Amino acid sequence: MSGDESSPPQRPSLETLISRALRLRCPRCGRGKLFTGWFSMPERCSECQLKYERASGYFLGATYINYGLTAVSLTALYFVLHFGLDLSNRQLAGPLAGFCIVVPLLLFRYARALWLAIDCHIDVSVLASDD
Ligand SMILES: [Zn+2]
């Protein structure tokens, strides 16, 4: 008797979880796809049945990741273009407004995947749960 059923769940390393997130794969098995379309997630992993959205509003935290990544990249881009290339604020307003619309859409899936990875890293019970 190995007693595997009572042993605590294996926690993948943070590097593994981040790698799976960047490949948009399930944090538990690394095989199932997190998305079936640009914005659509299946309820569960097709391989290990991990439930992705644990509760209503679960992915609200991904919004903060998305916002943070967008704000940091916007700030860096502004400094490079304004102070480095000497473009005026008037010249930058339109393109940077477009940046603020496009980049969050591009980051949407990665922000959710990273949120799920971070949650699995902090709360290993997520990986053991089947509901
Ligand atoms: Zn899985």
Per residue in 19-39, pLDDT (tens digit) is 999 999 999 999 999 999 999
Residue ranges with CB less than 5 Å from ion ligand 1: 26, 28-29, 32, 45, 47-48, 50
Provide the number of structural domains found in the chain: 1
* CB neighbour list of residue 26: distance below 8 Å, 6 or more residues apart: 20, 32, 33, 34, 45, 47, 48, 50, 52
In this predicted structure, the answer to whether residue 127 has a pLDDT above a threshold of 90 is no
Task: Give which of 24, 48, 25, 41 is closest to 110, Cα–Cα.
Answer: 24
In a domain, 7, yes or no: no
In a domain, 99, yes or no: yes
In a domain, 6, yes or no: no
In a domain, 1, yes or no: no
Separation of 28 CA from ligand 1 center, angstroms? 5
* Domain coverage including residue 93: 12-128
In a domain, 40, yes or no: yes
In a domain, 55, yes or no: yes
Angle at 30 between CA 52 and CA 28, to 5 degrees: 50
Q: Work out the percent of the chain whose per-residue pLDDT is above 70.
A: 92
Query: Rounded to whole angstroms, how far apart are CA atoms 24 and 45?
Result: 12
Query: Rounded to whole angstroms, how far apart are CA atoms 80 and 56?
Result: 40
In a domain, 5, yes or no: no
On average, the pLDDT of the chain sits at 90
Average confidence (pLDDT) over 60-74 = 96
